[in-house]
Every structure is written in structure tokens, then in C-alpha cells.
């Protein structure tokens, strides 16, 4: 049950507001192991809503779900040099099993390229076996030092897609197809506008030829990497001997990809849409799209009101995720605040007068006060609710896009970049050199979020740091 104490406002302390929302909306709590979390039923239901939209898209593009082991032989991690160097500080390693020292230590998976590469080398023999398009839903462990619920934890939940192809072109098309898939889910399901782009050499996935991401702006203007898609080239194919006989009967190495999004998307939904009252959930992913609150003052009114509330629930249940709040130990006002905190898009109020008038009162979470309330005949409630949820979904995307665009500014020189990243994202030309990227990070704590795929109208410019010629620009921002 929600606490009556008011939330810390975002303006007072954004980090405290975020943590309070996560816990008081009962999305997650801290686990006994430092840096781990327990995802509570409401948070799990939100993740399942996000997951179902993604899973449907994966299957529509020909991918199949599979399950690979949690434990990976340590030797597998050493087969691809850049991969092991990138993950070594984050690995959790099992050295004792059944009370005995293991002959070979086992790594708790930080990601599964290695073990999946091993299996693909067994399963792929001929060009007829390609492409292989697999995905798994699981948790992974990375030994993070600074953690925050959903955004960065030791163990987190995600999906990781892994594919193998006969040609570079097919693998590259897959890499970009899945990046587009993530963008579609973010925009259509979560009402989160994102920028698609290529990661810099220092920010790419360790072991990839190229990494691409979708980047989103949070309510404090920091960036969040909301999904990544990696062109692995032939690195893992060579490390794990993933080869096939082509149509000329010549042995060739496969081209592989991997791509993933995680439960940090829940953090994104919170921070992109939330306000000082708590969550504000997009209807497509909201676990409860409409909450029915029965209201009565006298005991003899109770049965009729509850009966009417249940009839409305049954009327709506076939098309919407809806429930009745039957709690009697708290006031209707407390219930209103509680469901606002939880971000339910629509509240439906039913009292004795509403029953007499064959109507209900509908309140929108995204429009505060009386402006967001409307008396609706019960007979027309289903259509009205559908229209309202659609309007809320579109309105959240519109508001998030306007906020993002208002906090992105072009930086013509280094001084401007340093100023812009204090309260937003800087759009600036960059020569592509690691030294200039490192200087920006050290001086401002801002990182290269991505070089957008859409460079229309960019022309040629000069690097904001060193002044050397630059043919593309990137986004720079402080990030989670």
C-alpha cells in the first residue's frame, strides 16, 4: 500500500524521487545481496507488457526463442580477446561446486555470445542451415559497483538475440532491422522518442565490429541507452569455428549479430513520463489500464455500488486490462492518490448518483484536476475508454518529444558544448578521434551517445574539440 507521505519532487532531488517512485509504487525493492533487486508483481507485470510487445515483433521477423545455460566455462570467455578484456572486471566466477573445487571455473553469464557461438559451431554445417535466428529471455550478472534499481544492477533481466548469416550484407541488414524493431517498440508501446545511431569505438560492445543504439532523454535531460544492436562480423565465428559449406562446397565463416534490451526500459518509462505524483504509464504497457473505484458513504449503499462496479469491469474486461479496487480500510481519496502514484492511465469512479444516472466519472492520469474528468454514460464507456487511452498514448509521446527537442542544442565550439551538456544534449561535429572523445568525457562527464544514422543536412564541419575537419556530428550528454 502506498505511503501517505508526499513524494520528494523531481525539482528537489531527482534521484530521490526516482527511488521513492520505484519502491512506493511497488515496482521493485532492494535484495539482500548488494546491488541486486527484487522485482515485485506490479513491476513484473510492467516488464511482461514490454516483453510481450517485443516478443511478438521478434517472432514476426522470424526469430525463435531458445534457452541457453547460466554457467559458461571460463575458457570460453578468453577466446575473443576484446570481449574478455571488456567484461573481465564485471565477471562473477564460480570456483566451488558440490563442496569441491571445480577443475575449470564457471562464469555466470554476463552475456551469451560465447556459449551460443559454441553451440552454433555444432549446429551449422551448410548454407542450408542459415540463417539462424534465435532469442532468449533471461537474466545476466555483471559486477557493477554503482547500482540503481532497474537502471544498473548486478543481476538484471533482458533479452539477447543471436543470429548467424552467410554474408556480411545479411548480417548487417539483421543488425539494422533489430535496431528499427527497438525503435518501433519504444515509440509505439512506451511513447518514448529515441535517436538511432552508431556507437563510437570506445563505447561499442566489446567484441563487435560496430554497435548501434537507440538513445532516449530522461526527465532530467540525461541520456539512457535504451537498446543496442551489434554487428559482430566474423570475430566470434572465427573464435568458435562457426563455419558452413557454401553452394560451391567451400568452407566459409559465418557472420553473426547480437542485440538486446533490458529491464532498464522500466526505468526509462518512469523517468520519461513520471511527474511529482509518481508514475504516468503509457496505456499500451500499463499493467492496469483502468482502475474502477467504487464510492459509498452509507453501509446500505455498499452492495449496489460494488455490484455496479463489477458489472462495469465485466463490460470492459474483454478489451482492456481493468480491475476494481475493493479495499475498505482506506478512503476513496487515498485510493485516487495510490493509483496516480502507480501511473494507471484512467480512473473510473462509481457512486450511488452515478448508478442512478447510469453513468460513471472518468479521470485521466495525464490531465490533472477537473480538466481531466468527464461524466460518461455506461452504455458508451467502452468506446470512450478506447479513444481516451489512444489519446493518452499519443499525448505522452508528443510531450516527451517536445521536452527532448527543447533540450537539444547545437554546439558550435567547445565552450558551447561544455555549457549545453550541463542541462541537455549537445549536437556537435567530431573528428572521430579517441583523444577528443576522451577530453570531452574527462572535462564534462558527457559521453558520445551516438552518431545519428540520419545526417541529412549535416554537411562538413570542424571537430568541436580540435578543429580538424569532420564529416558527421554526434550527440553528447551525461548519461545513466
Is there a single domain that holds both residue 189 and residue 327?
Answer: no
Is there a single domain that holds both residue 56 and residue 152?
Answer: yes
Query: What's the CA gap between 231 and 182, in Å, rounded?
Result: 15
What is the band of 201 on the pLDDT scale with cuts at 50, 70, 90?
Answer: very high
| 398 in a structural domain | no
**Residue that is last in its domain, among 334, 358, 391:** 391
Q: How many domains does the chain have?
A: 3
**pLDDT of 4 above 70:** no
Is there a single domain that holds both residue 137 and residue 46?
Answer: yes
| 380 in a structural domain | yes
**pLDDT of 152 above 60:** yes
pLDDT of amino acid 80: 80
Residue 207 backbone zone (phi > 0: left; psi -120 to 50: alpha; other: beta) = left
| 144 in a structural domain | yes
**Residue that is last in its domain, among 242, 273, 304:** 273
| 249 in a structural domain | yes
Higher pLDDT, 53 or 3: 53
Query: What's the CA gap between 53 and 47, in Å, rounded?
Result: 10
| 179 in a structural domain | yes
Q: To the nearest whole number, what is the mean pLDDT of the chain?
A: 96
pLDDT of amino acid 457: 65
Is there a single domain that holds both residue 134 and residue 251?
Answer: yes
- 368-394: average pLDDT: 97
Is there a single domain that holds both residue 27 and residue 135?
Answer: yes
Is there a single domain that holds both residue 144 and residue 170?
Answer: yes
| 282 in a structural domain | no
Question: In terms of Cα–Cα distance, which of 208, 192, 191 is closest to 200?
Answer: 208
Radius of gyration of the chain (CA): 25
Is there a single domain that holds both residue 223 and residue 326?
Answer: no
The CA-atom distances, in angstroms, between 318 and each of 285, 289, 301, 382, 464 are 17, 12, 27, 10, 56
User: pLDDT tens digits for 206-237?
Assistant: 989 999 999 999 999 999 999 999 999 999 99
Using DSSP's 3-state secondary structure scheme, residue 423 falls into coil
**Residue that is last in its domain, among 216, 243, 273:** 273
φ, ψ of residue 9 to 5 degrees: the values are -80, 160
**pLDDT of 405 above 70:** yes
φ, ψ of residue 331 to 5 degrees: the values are -80, 160
**pLDDT of 77 above 80:** yes
pLDDT of amino acid 325: 98
Is there a single domain that holds both residue 23 and residue 162?
Answer: yes
- 344-372: average pLDDT: 97
Q: Which residue pairs, CB below 8 angstroms and at least 24 apart, start in 59-63?
A: 61/133, 61/177, 61/178, 61/181, 62/133, 63/133, 63/134, 63/135, 63/161, 63/163
Question: In terms of Cα–Cα distance, which of 367, 342, 353 is closest to 294?
Answer: 353
pLDDT of amino acid 2: 46
Query: What's the CA gap between 288 and 227, in Å, rounded?
Result: 25
Question: In terms of Cα–Cα distance, which of 348, 341, 196 is closest to 270?
Answer: 341
Is there a single domain that holds both residue 261 and residue 311?
Answer: no
User: pLDDT tens digits for 92-118?
Assistant: 999 999 999 999 999 999 999 999 999
Expressed as residue numbers, the domain containing 216 is 14-273
φ, ψ of residue 255 to 5 degrees: the values are -110, 130
pLDDT of amino acid 115: 96
| 265 in a structural domain | yes
Counting Cα atoms < 13 Å in the Cβ hemisphere of 467 gives 1
What is the band of 368 on the pLDDT scale with cuts at 50, 70, 90?
Answer: very high
**CATH number, domain with residue 457:** 3.30.110.30
Is there a single domain that holds both residue 180 and residue 215?
Answer: yes
User: pLDDT tens digits for 257-295?
Assistant: 999 999 999 999 999 999 999 999 999 999 999 999 999
CA 12 to chain centre: 25
What is the band of 448 on the pLDDT scale with cuts at 50, 70, 90?
Answer: very high
Describe the chain by its helix, strand, coil percentages, rounded to 5. Answer: 40, 30, 35
Query: What's the CA gap between 19 and 16, in Å, rounded?
Result: 5
| 403 in a structural domain | no
Q: DSSP assignment of 67-131, as one string?
A: ---SEEEHHHHTSSHHHHHHHGGG-EEEEEETTEEEEEEEEEPS--HHHHHHHHHHH--BGGG--
**pLDDT of 333 above 90:** yes
Question: In terms of Cα–Cα distance, which of 470, 405, 404 is closest to 433?
Answer: 470
**CATH number, domain with residue 170:** 3.30.930.10
Percentage of the chain exceeding pLDDT 70: 99
pLDDT of amino acid 87: 82
Query: What's the CA gap between 270 and 279, in Å, rounded?
Result: 6
User: pLDDT tens digits for 115-142?
Assistant: 999 999 999 999 999 999 999 999 999 9
**CATH number, domain with residue 315:** 3.40.50.800
Using DSSP's 3-state secondary structure scheme, residue 178 falls into helix
pTM of the model: 0.95
Query: What's the CA gap between 284 and 287, in Å, rounded?
Result: 9
Is there a single domain that holds both residue 244 and residue 196?
Answer: yes
pLDDT of amino acid 16: 97
pLDDT of amino acid 460: 81
CA angle 257, 66, 89 (to 5 degrees): 55
**pLDDT of 1 above 50:** no
Is there a single domain that holds both residue 334 and residue 428?
Answer: no
Task: Kindly report the length of the chain.
Answer: 480
Amino acid at each position: 500500500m502506498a505511503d501517505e507521505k508526499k513524494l520528494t519532487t523531481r525539482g528537489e532531488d531527482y534521484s530521490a524521487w526516482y527511488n521513492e517512485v520505484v519502491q512506493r509504487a511497488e515496482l521493485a525493492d532492494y535484495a539482500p545481496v548488494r546491488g541486486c533487486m527484487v522485482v515485485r508483481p506490479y513491476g513484473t507485470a510492467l516488464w511482461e507488457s514490454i516483453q510481450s510487445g517485443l516478443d511478438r515483433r521478434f517472432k514476426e521477423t522470424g526469430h525463435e526463442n531458445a534457452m541457453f545455460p547460466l554457467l559458461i566455462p571460463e575458457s570460453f570467455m578468453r577466446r575473443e580477446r576484446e570481449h574478455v578484456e571488456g567484461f573481465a572486471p564485471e565477471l562473477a566466477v564460480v570456483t566451488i561446486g558440490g563442496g569441491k573445487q571445480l577443475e575449470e571455473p564457471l562464469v555466470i553469464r554476463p552475456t551469451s555470445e560465447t556459449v551460443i557461438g559454441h553451440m552454433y559451431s555444432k549446429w551449422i554445417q551448410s548454407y542450408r542451415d542459415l540463417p539462424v535466428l534465435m532469442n532468449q529471455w533471461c537474466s545476466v550478472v555483471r559486477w557493477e559497483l554503482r547500482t540503481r534499481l532497474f537502471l544498473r544492477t548486478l543481476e538484471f533481466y533482458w533479452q539477447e538475440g543471436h543470429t548467424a548469416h552467410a554474408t556480411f550484407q545479411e548480417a548487417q541488414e539483421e543488425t539494422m532491422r533489430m535496431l528499427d524493431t527497438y525503435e518501433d517498440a519504444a515509440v509505439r508501446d512506451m511513447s518514448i522518442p529515441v535517436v538511432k545511431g552508431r556507437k563510437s569505438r570506445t563505447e561499442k560492445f566489446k567484441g563487435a565490429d560496430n554497435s548501434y543504439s537507440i538513445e532516449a532523454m530522461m526527465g532530467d535531460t540525461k541520456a539512457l541507452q535504451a537498446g543496442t544492436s551489434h554487428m559482430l562480423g566474423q570475430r566470434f565465428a572465427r573464435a568458435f569455428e562457426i563455419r558452413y559449406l557454401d553452394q560451391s562446397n567451400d568452407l566459409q565463416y559465418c557472420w553473426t549479430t547480437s542485440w538486446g534490451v533490458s529491464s532498464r526500459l522500466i526505468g526509462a518509462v518512469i523517468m520519461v513520463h513520471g511527474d511529482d505524483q509518481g508514475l504516468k504509464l503509457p496505456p499500451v504497457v500499463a499493467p492496469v489500464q483502468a482502475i474502477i473505484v467504487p464510492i459509498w458513504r452509507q453501509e446500505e449503499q455498499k452492495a449496489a455500488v460494488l455490484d455496479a462496479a463489477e458489472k462495469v469491469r465485466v463490460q470492459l474486461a474483454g478489451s482492456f486490462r481493468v480491475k476494481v479496487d475493493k479495499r475498505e480500510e482506506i478512503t476513496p481519496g487515498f485510493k485516487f492518490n495510490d493509483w496516480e502514484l502507480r501511473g494507471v492511465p484512467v480512473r473510473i469512479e462509481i457512486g450511488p448518483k452515478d448508478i442512478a444516472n447510469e453513468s460513471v466519472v472518468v479521470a485521466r492520469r495525464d490531465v490533472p484536476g477537473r480538466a481531466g474528468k468527464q461524466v460518461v454514460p455506461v452504455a458508451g464507456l467502452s468506446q470512450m475508454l478506447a479513444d481516451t487511452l489512444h489519446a493518452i498514448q499519443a499525448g505522452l509521446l508528443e510531450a516527451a518529444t517536445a521536452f527532448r527537442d527543447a533540450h537539444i542544442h547545437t554546439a558550435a565550439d567547445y565552450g558551447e558544448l561544455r555549457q549545453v551538456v550541463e542541462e541537455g544534449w549537445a549536437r556537435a561535429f567530431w573528428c572521430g578521434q579517441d583523444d577528443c572523445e576522451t577530453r570531452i568525457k574527462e572535462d564534462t562527464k558527457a559521453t558520445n551517445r551516438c552518431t545519428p544514422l540520419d545526417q541529412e543536412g549535416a554537411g562538413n564541419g570542424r571537430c568541436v574539440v580540435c578543429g580538424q575537419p569532420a564529416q558527421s556530428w554526434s550527440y553528447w550528454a551525461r548519461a545513466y
